[in-house]
Amino acid sequence: MSNAALMDAYLRRLGVDADLTPSWPLLCDLVTRHVYRVPFENLDIINELRPELSTAGVLHKLAIRRRGGFCYELNEAFRALLTHLGFEVRRIEARVWSEPRQKFGAPFDHLALVVSLPEGEYLTDVGFGDNNRTPLRLPADTVTDISGAYTLKQTSNEIWLLSRSDDPLYEMTLTEQPLLAFAAMYRHHQTSPDSVFTKGLICTRATPTGRTTLSREHLIAVDRANRTESVMPDRDQALLRHFGIVKENGTC
């Protein structure tokens, strides 16, 4: 399939039919649509599928298979879409904070994006699972949305920190990185028993008023201040009903 056809399918999944001229409003709209429609999930990992990390592969996964993924997949696909639309965007590496270990992960633990616009440069991320829904302006910014209050600040000459309500989420450098630089950590998170992604199903997407999450067989719905949890013994049905993920090749 041609790159243009992949991008058209991607845009259809996001429901985009307005002006696609690169701009701050369009970037915000695309981020919002993405976190509402494309789930953060680890189905390939728990089904012991080990794809190589490639731009074409992640685009096909999101646009044609209509799946989700985790940071390397979601943000790489989104980077390719933004570039296709004429945005100036680069990959950056980040290290996720581990509360149990009380430290940040290894370099390239997370893939995020920086988008350059006439207004400035913006940290942009559709692949963290539950973080800010509006890009944050570098070098320092604060935004508040339904998920919380987020702060971006510089902590040293080369390090920036993203926090939610004073709790660290990840630290990052802003140097542009090639996709190949993330390959080793991508494989680590697919296979290591220390990876959070190998410990059980996680599938989550944002909603206008909260978030819907399937964690193993538990469906958790957050609607503003209300939180409900129910058991979903039929995983395939839950994935289809709440996330639009269709069982394929005997796995879902």
Q: Domains in the chain, start-ordered, CATH in brackets?
A: 3-243 (3.30.2140.20)
Instruction: Return the pLDDT at 17.
Output: 81
Sign of CA dihedral 32, 222, 103, 38: negative
* pLDDT range class, residue 19, cuts 50, 70, 90: confident
| CA dist., res. 93 & res. 178, Å (int) | 10
- 167-214 pLDDT, tens digit per residue, is 999 999 999 999 999 999 999 999 999 999 999 999 999 999 999 999
101-117: pLDDT as tens digits = 999 999 999 999 999 99
Active-site residue among 34, 60, 109, 110?
A: 110
Considering the candidates 60, 125, 203, 242, report the single residue annotated as catalytic: 125
28 as an active site residue: the answer is no
Is the pLDDT assigned to residue 249 strictly greater than 80? no
**Quick one: pLDDT at residue 252?**
54
In this prediction, residue 32 carries a pLDDT of: 96
Closest CA to 126 of 76, 170, 75: 75
- Predicted confidence at residue 250, as pLDDT, reads 57
Q: Is 110 a catalytic residue?
A: yes
pLDDT at 61 over 80: yes
Give the whole-angstrom CA distance, residue 95 versus residue 39: 21
**189 carries an active-site annotation:** no
pLDDT reading at 251 higher than 80: no
Catalytic residue among 34, 71, 141, 189: 71
Contacts of 193 (CB under 8 A, 6+ apart): none
pLDDT, one tens digit per residue, over 148-170 is: 999 999 999 999 999 999 899 99
pLDDT at 25 over 70: yes
Q: What is the structure's pLDDT at 4? A: 87
